[in-house]
Structure 1
Amino acid sequence: MFVLDRHGIPLQPARPAMARKLLASGRAVIHRRTPLVVRLKDRGAGSSAVPGVEVGLDPGSKHTGIAVFTNDKGTRTGLVAVQLDHRGGRIRDSMAARAGYRRRRRSANLRHRAPRFRNRTRPRGWLAPSLRHRVDTTMSWVDRLTRWAPVRAVHVERVAFDTHAMSAGRPLAGAEYQQGTLAGYEVREFLLAKWGRACAYCAASGVPLNIDHIHPRSRGGPDRVSNLVVACISCNQAKSSMPVEVFLAGRPKVLARVLAQAKAPLRDAAAVNATRWALWRALAATGLPVHTASGGRTKWNRSRTGATKSHTLDALHVGVLDQVTGRPATVLVAAATGRGSYCRTRTNAFGFPRLRLPRVKQIRGFATGDLVRAIVPAGKKTGTWTGRVAVRTSGSFNITTAAGTVQGIGHRHVRRLQRGDGYAYTTRGEPDALI
């Protein structure tokens, strides 16, 4: 829970029990409902010193983990955990569909429309809209947290793998590529991501995985990362020192897949790295101290503290730390939904308009995405419904609650709790939280 003083200046975050006491005693009012932010009525700026908090970010392709924690000489205590769900995939699909519609209209027997290229060049640092969305939404949440909490520093994963640690001018030997050193964790994290955290030979997942040489070392195989795969214990023992061509002689399709995937780089590596570098530059422009680390370092930290794999726990373990003494029990999941569309029509399968949309987004004072509460006194929809509203010009709204969607709620029974901000909020539990 975030706390502001009466002038809107952020104070140290508090536990939800403290918020209930402040609200019950009348000392505070609700400033924002999701996430919960309260504003004190009897405390101004400078009344006491605020130690401050730090923010950890675990950028990802589909999800970004955000953790707010205190840091006392390397000892971290998690206060707030947020999982930000991106909609980059939907943006990519929408733009691909739009491009397909345009290409068809140019080639079909329709009114000629010449392509408008004009030799346009993309500016330096340009990102595709689906990637720029990830940077913008993450920065939006960093800006929110700096308004709600006294943020002193930001920790972020700038790269997924430390390539210098993996190829430092010497081959990896012994326990370096198995366990124990940070370089080994960089290699393991790279291989797990490349092979989908499953055995390269039998596709078994959820089991302990070892690192295996495609071309055995006993037969002159190198220790380069391009010659390494992850394999389950049974496949690793069965393969032993056999060449992969002999081991997979009876499975030619698996052999072809392994050899092809071993040579191919990570498909999303370039896009993810570009996004992370753009995010780092945007964070540096805020003026806050920004500390960077790699994904291998995060995994090494989690192994020392005994935490499981999740986006929010990764954000809590980013960078240099000694121990973690507390983790939030509840994670706020913020799914990006957008703020509507500029398009005033819907298209059919061929790209032609089939219906027209309203020119205004607000209906009866409500807009799609608002957090509302509806109290229906009688009828089939009797009850109290709280959730995200979808408005209709008829005045009969749909409300999406935690239990599902309730359709046909009259606007007279609806009261707005919070304006829509482009996100749909839910909560989930952290499996191994330390209260």
Structure 2
Amino acid sequence: MFVLDVRGHPLDPCHPARARRLLAAGRAVVVRHTPFVIRLKDRSVADSTVAGVQVGIDPGSKHTGLAVFTGHGGSRGGRYAIQLDHRGALIRDRLAARSRYRRRRRSANLRYRAPRFLNRTKPKGWLAPSLQHRVDTTVSWVARLTRWAPVATVHVEKASFDTHTLSAGKPLEGVEYQQGTLAGYEVREYLLAKWGRACTYCGASGVPLNLDHIHPRSRGGSDRVGNLTLACIPCNQAKNATPIEEFLNGRPALLAKILRQAKAPLRDAAAVNATRWALWRALKATGLPVHTASGGRTKWNRSRTGAPKSHTLDALHVGELETVTTWPSTILVVTATGRGSYARTTPDRYGFPRLVRPRTKLHRGFQTGDLVRADIPAGKKAGVHTGRVLVRSSGSFDITARCGRVAGINHRHVRHLQRADGYGYTTRKEADRHD
């Protein structure tokens, strides 16, 4: 649990059992429900020894992992884990829908806003709103963690793989092909992303995949990454040193596709790298020390510690480390939901208004998105329901809890736990260690 001193300055996190004892003894008060933050009444930073914590970040397209951990030497111990779910796809779809509505009204000669001049230029470092959202939400949560915990260092993945290792310098040959940088994890991570984690020849997935030379080395093929692909064990053994033109003699379409894809770079590399560079610059602007590493190193670290694959465990394994002693058994899943809409109407599939929204979002002291607790004494909905609320002016609210949505709860049974902040919160179990 996160702990603040009497003046609101962050102290080292504590165990939940200790937080309960402090609250029961009256030595602390609750500051925030989710994530749970308490403030001590009788201690300040000057009276405490603060060791500090570190934050690991595993950026992703749909999900970003955040891990708060303590480190001594090369050992790390996980203290808190957050999975941040982005809404970039929703932003993209709504912007595209707005563009279609406007285009349709212009073509139908209806009332519309005239198109702007077409020589507008974008500022340097501009990102599409769906991409900028990922950067902004991640930096926002790092800033929140800085307010709740004494963050000393940030570790972030700058790329899924080290492109400099793959393209610049000499090709992988001999023992370097077998071992490579970080025991070949940079090369394998690149090929897994490029070829879709499936066999290139038969399309099999979920099976062990070997690195295969498109043009065999015995016939003059190189060890460069552009000549490498993935093949399952039967296809790899069947192809052996056969030229690919002979191996795929009866499948010309597949042959053309493989040769074309082998020459093309990874499609999403430019967009992913642009987002992560922007995230790195935004984190540097916070003034915290920021250390970067590649996804290949993260995967190598997980293989040495026996940790399963997850966004939060990837964040815990970012950068240089020797071992991970422990990690949280439960993680907080934070879903970006937004803060509502400014629109007074909701359009139908053709772009015409189908209803009128009220001018105010606050009803009976609540607004949609608040984290609430409803204690219903009797009836079909009897019980305790905790979750995000959907309000109505009639005073009949809906609560989205972990077990599902409960509709028609009277506002008199509802009390606040936390005001809406643009995010929804759930918890789930972390993956268990495997060897």
User: TM-score scaled by structure 1?
Assistant: 0.96
1:282 aligns with 2:282: yes
Q: Equivalent residue for 1:59?
A: 59
Partner Cα distance (1:140, 1:152) in 2:
17
Counterpart code for 1:326: T
Partner Cα distance (1:245, 1:307) in 2:
41
Go from structure 1 to structure 2 and tell me whether the alpha carbon gap of 1:18 and 1:202 turns closer, same or farther (over 3 Å shift): farther
Per the alignment, in what secondary structure is the counterpart of residue 182 of structure 1? coil
Kindly state the Cα deviation for residue 117 of structure 1 after the two structures are TM-superposed.
2.4
Q: Equivalent residue for 1:131?
A: 131
Q: Deviations over 1:55-76 (max 9, x none)?
A: 0111111111101111111211
Q: Equivalent residue for 2:257?
A: 257
Conserved in 2, the CA contact under 8 Å of 1:328 and 1:433?
Answer: no
Conserved in 1, the CA contact under 8 Å of 2:331 and 2:429?
Answer: yes
Per the alignment, in what secondary structure is the counterpart of residue 257 of structure 1? helix
Q: Deviations over 1:266-322 (max 9, x none)?
A: 222111111111111111111111111111111111121121211111111111111
Partner Cα distance (1:13, 1:25) in 2:
18
Partner Cα distance (1:68, 1:77) in 2:
9
Partner Cα distance (2:106, 2:313) in 1:
50
1:31 aligns with 2:36: no
Go from structure 1 to structure 2 and tell me whether the alpha carbon gap of 1:402 and 1:232 turns closer, same or farther (over 3 Å shift): same
Conserved in 1, the CA contact under 8 Å of 2:374 and 2:385?
Answer: yes
1:381 aligns with 2:381: yes
Partner Cα distance (1:179, 1:419) in 2:
52
Counterpart code for 1:399: I
Q: Equivalent residue for 1:292?
A: 292
Counterpart code for 2:86: H
Q: Deviations over 1:229-248 (max 9, x none)?
A: 11221221121112223323
Go from structure 1 to structure 2 and tell me whether the alpha carbon gap of 1:44 and 1:308 turns closer, same or farther (over 3 Å shift): same
Conserved in 2, the CA contact under 8 Å of 1:327 and 1:433?
Answer: no
Counterpart code for 1:247: F
Partner Cα distance (1:254, 1:359) in 2:
58
Conserved in 2, the CA contact under 8 Å of 1:329 and 1:433?
Answer: no
Q: Equivalent residue for 1:73?
A: 73
Matches within 5 A, 1:294-313: 294-313=294-313
Go from structure 1 to structure 2 and tell me whether the alpha carbon gap of 1:348 and 1:40 turns closer, same or farther (over 3 Å shift): same
Partner Cα distance (2:177, 2:431) in 1:
29
Per the alignment, in what secondary structure is the counterpart of residue 367 of structure 1? coil
Partner Cα distance (1:141, 1:369) in 2:
18
Per the alignment, in what secondary structure is the counterpart of residue 24 of structure 2? helix
Conserved in 2, the CA contact under 8 Å of 1:58 and 1:312?
Answer: yes
Q: Deviations over 1:359-407 (max 9, x none)?
A: 2111111111111011112222122111111112221111011111001
Partner Cα distance (2:394, 2:433) in 1:
46
Partner Cα distance (1:175, 1:67) in 2:
35
Q: Equivalent residue for 1:340?
A: 340
Counterpart code for 1:337: T
> What is the RMSD of the two structures over their aligned residues, measured on CA atoms?
1.7
Counterpart code for 1:72: H
1:211 aligns with 2:219: no
Kindly state the Cα deviation for residue 260 of structure 1 after the two structures are TM-superposed.
3.2
Per the alignment, in what secondary structure is the counterpart of residue 153 of structure 1? strand
Partner Cα distance (2:131, 2:177) in 1:
32
Partner Cα distance (2:11, 2:84) in 1:
24
Go from structure 1 to structure 2 and tell me whether the alpha carbon gap of 1:248 and 1:392 turns closer, same or farther (over 3 Å shift): farther
Conserved in 2, the CA contact under 8 Å of 1:178 and 1:210?
Answer: no
Per the alignment, in what secondary structure is the counterpart of residue 416 of structure 2? strand
Kindly state the Cα deviation for residue 152 of structure 1 after the two structures are TM-superposed.
0.4
Partner Cα distance (1:145, 1:431) in 2:
23
Matches within 5 A, 1:176-255: 176-179=176-179, 181-182=181-182, 184-255=184-255
Q: What runs of 5+ residues in structure 1 fail to find an aligned partner?
A: none
Conserved in 2, the CA contact under 8 Å of 1:65 and 1:312?
Answer: yes
Partner Cα distance (1:246, 1:30) in 2:
71
Go from structure 1 to structure 2 and tell me whether the alpha carbon gap of 1:130 and 1:233 turns closer, same or farther (over 3 Å shift): same
Conserved in 1, the CA contact under 8 Å of 2:54 and 2:151?
Answer: yes
Counterpart code for 1:334: V
1:271 aligns with 2:266: no
1:318 aligns with 2:318: yes
Q: Equivalent residue for 1:15?
A: 15
Partner Cα distance (2:433, 2:344) in 1:
46
Partner Cα distance (1:101, 1:112) in 2:
10
Go from structure 1 to structure 2 and tell me whether the alpha carbon gap of 1:175 and 1:428 turns closer, same or farther (over 3 Å shift): farther
Per the alignment, in what secondary structure is the counterpart of residue 95 of structure 2? helix
Q: Deviations over 1:296-349 (max 9, x none)?
A: 111111121121211111111111111111111111110111111112211112
Partner Cα distance (2:2, 2:291) in 1:
24
Counterpart code for 1:315: A
Counterpart code for 2:301: N
Conserved in 2, the CA contact under 8 Å of 1:177 and 1:187?
Answer: no
Go from structure 1 to structure 2 and tell me whether the alpha carbon gap of 1:115 and 1:174 turns closer, same or farther (over 3 Å shift): same
Conserved in 1, the CA contact under 8 Å of 2:172 and 2:180?
Answer: no
Partner Cα distance (1:270, 1:180) in 2:
24
Conserved in 2, the CA contact under 8 Å of 1:165 and 1:183?
Answer: no
Q: Deviations over 1:15-72 (max 9, x none)?
A: 2121122222222121111111111122123112101001011111111110111111
Conserved in 1, the CA contact under 8 Å of 2:298 and 2:319?
Answer: yes
Partner Cα distance (2:208, 2:217) in 1:
22
Matches within 5 A, 1:385-396: 385-396=385-396
Partner Cα distance (1:17, 1:176) in 2:
50
Counterpart code for 2:274: A
1:92 aligns with 2:97: no
Partner Cα distance (1:262, 1:188) in 2:
15
Q: Equivalent residue for 2:105?
A: 105
Partner Cα distance (1:283, 1:310) in 2:
23
Q: What runs of 5+ residues in structure 2 fail to find an aligned partner?
A: none
Kindly, what percent of the aligned residue pairs are identical?
73
Counterpart code for 2:126: W
User: TM-score scaled by structure 2?
Assistant: 0.96
Partner Cα distance (1:334, 1:303) in 2:
27
Go from structure 1 to structure 2 and tell me whether the alpha carbon gap of 1:290 and 1:392 turns closer, same or farther (over 3 Å shift): same
